[in-house]
């Protein structure tokens, strides 16, 4: 691609997450092509690009769902490329869908409480466990109230509607409290009533934490509202990276992306 816009990287502030020449090939097809990019704390980066551009695959490489063909992933400067999904989750990578079906036969509340409990990492002490149990239940209820799922607290997860399952994913992610939140089209398949709940939550996460948020999203109005920065993937490669106004106005987006997107909006 020509006309790459590249964001300034402050050499004094180490990025929370970065990828270096990250590449994956499926047979002859390069789905993610030498992507070098750094993400800073407190920044919400929207990742855009046409269908098949490699956005989900880039997420898969960061969260460890698939192994990279070459290149590296770093979390707080430490290389995590060879680590498992579970190890990356413990280290601070929080990807929504990995948590969806944690305990499908337990209730909504129990799922959130278990994630909060694993986060609290309490020792085996029966007396403190009893008081912690109440604290964790309250914390879980508070999170469910934020995602407007309190009325469904007792419901078994496998019986939730699609929209409620997506909200639960966000609830579990909030309970986990990762350093990096990764959302891949979080409102896909949601009704027009439900989508704003999730988008407001992401806005809330951004406003009230210094966490890093990566958001794959097709809807330009959502991106315009939430993103501090946009990166564009095209044919697996990083085609643009910068502040939303600059990237939206760049030739690369106007030609490769906006044409299709404007039709969608
Ligand atoms: N496991 C796989 N095996 C083979 N090819 C794959 C695999 N995963 C993804 N691909 C291919 O890699 C390319 C990138 O796909 P990806 O799903 O990352 O795109 P995307 O940007 O998320 O698209 P969309 O906007 O439709 O979600 C596509 O050509 C896809 O067919
Ligand atoms: Mg995708």
Residue 42 lies in a domain: yes
Q: Which domain holds residue 130?
A: 98-177
Is a pLDDT exceeding 50 seen at residue 158? yes
Same domain assignment for residues 190 and 107:
no
Same domain assignment for residues 102 and 80:
no
pLDDT at 133: 81
The sign one gets for the Cα dihedral 20, 63, 51, 200 is negative
* Alpha-helical segments (H) within 11-107: 55-63, 85-91
Candidates 23, 31, 216: which one to mutate for ligand 1, based on the most atoms within 8 Å of Cβ?
31
Beta bridge partners of 134: none
pLDDT at 163: 86
pLDDT at 8: 52
Same domain assignment for residues 237 and 162:
no
Same domain assignment for residues 161 and 259:
no
Candidates 55, 57, 61: which one to mutate for ligand 1, based on the most atoms within 8 Å of Cβ?
57
Ligand 1 binding pocket (C-beta < 6 A) is 26, 31, 49, 51-57
- Total structural domains in the chain? 2
Same domain assignment for residues 82 and 102:
no
Calculate what percentage of the chain has a pLDDT beyond 90: 57
How many angstroms separate the alpha carbon of residue 177 from the centre of ligand 1?
A: 28
Residue 204 lies in a domain: no
Same domain assignment for residues 79 and 137:
no
What residues have their beta carbon closer than 5 A to ion ligand 2?
55-56
* Residue range 157-165: mean pLDDT, rounded: 89
Kindly report, residue by residue over 66-88, the tens digit of the pLDDT.
Answer: 999 999 999 999 999 999 999 99
Residue 194 lies in a domain: yes
Residue 62 lies in a domain: yes
* Residue range 8-29: mean pLDDT, rounded: 85
Same domain assignment for residues 188 and 147:
no
Estimate to the nearest angstrom the gap between the alpha carbon of 217 and the chain centroid.
11
* Alpha-helical segments (H) within the chain: 55-63, 85-91, 108-120, 126-146, 162-176, 195-207, 220-226, 244-249, 251-253, 259-264
Beta bridge partners of 237: 234
Same domain assignment for residues 184 and 244:
yes
Same domain assignment for residues 36 and 22:
yes
Residue 203 lies in a domain: no
* Residue range 117-137: mean pLDDT, rounded: 72
pTM of the model as a whole: 0.88
Same domain assignment for residues 229 and 117:
no
Q: For the domain that residue 23 is a member of, what is the CATH number?
A: 3.40.50.300
Phi, psi (degrees; rounded to nearest 5) at 176: -70, -35
Same domain assignment for residues 31 and 82:
yes
Same domain assignment for residues 1 and 88:
yes
Q: Which atom of ligand 1 is nearest to the CA of 185?
A: 27
- Beta carbons within 8 Å of 200's beta carbon, 6+ residues apart: none
What is the distance between the alpha carbons of residues 186 and 195, in angstroms, rounded to a whole number?
Answer: 8
Kindly report, residue by residue over 216-261, the tens digit of the pLDDT.
Answer: 998 888 898 999 999 999 999 999 999 999 998 888 777 766 555 5
Q: What would the two tokens of residue 189 be?
A: 């398949």
């Amino acid at each position: 691609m020509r006309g790459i816009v590249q964001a300034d990287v402050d050499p004094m502030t180490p990025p929370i997450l970065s990828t270096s020449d990250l590449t994956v090939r499926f047979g002859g097809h390069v789905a993610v092509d030498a992507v070098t990019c750094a993400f800073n704390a407190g920044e919400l980066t929207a990742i855009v690009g046409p269908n098949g551009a490699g956005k989900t695959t880039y997420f898969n490489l960061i969260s460890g769902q698939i192994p990279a063909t070459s290149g590296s992933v770093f979390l707080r400067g430490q290389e995590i490329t060879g680590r498992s999904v579970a190890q990356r989750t413990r280290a601070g990578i929080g990807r929504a869908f990995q948590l969806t079906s944690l305990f499908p036969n337990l209730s909504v509340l129990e799922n959130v409480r278990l994630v909060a409990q694993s986060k609290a990492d309490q020792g085996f002490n029966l007396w403190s466990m009893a008081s912690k149990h109440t604290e964790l239940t309250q914390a879980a209820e508070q999170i469910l109230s934020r995602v407007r799922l309190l009325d469904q607290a007792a419901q078994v997860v496998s019986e939730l509607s699609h929209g409620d399952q997506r909200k639960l994913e966000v609830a579990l992610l909030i309970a986990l409290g990762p350093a990096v939140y990764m959302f891949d089209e979080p409102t896909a398949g949601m009704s027009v009533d439900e989508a704003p709940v999730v988008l407001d939550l992401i806005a809330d996460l951004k406003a009230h934490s210094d966490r890093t948020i990566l958001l794959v999203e097709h809807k330009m109005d959502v991106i315009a509202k939430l993103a501090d920065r946009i990166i564009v993937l095209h044919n697996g490669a990083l085609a643009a990276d910068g502040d939303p106004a600059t990237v939206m106005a760049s030739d690369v987006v106007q030609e490769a992306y906006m044409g299709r997107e404007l039709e969608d909006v």
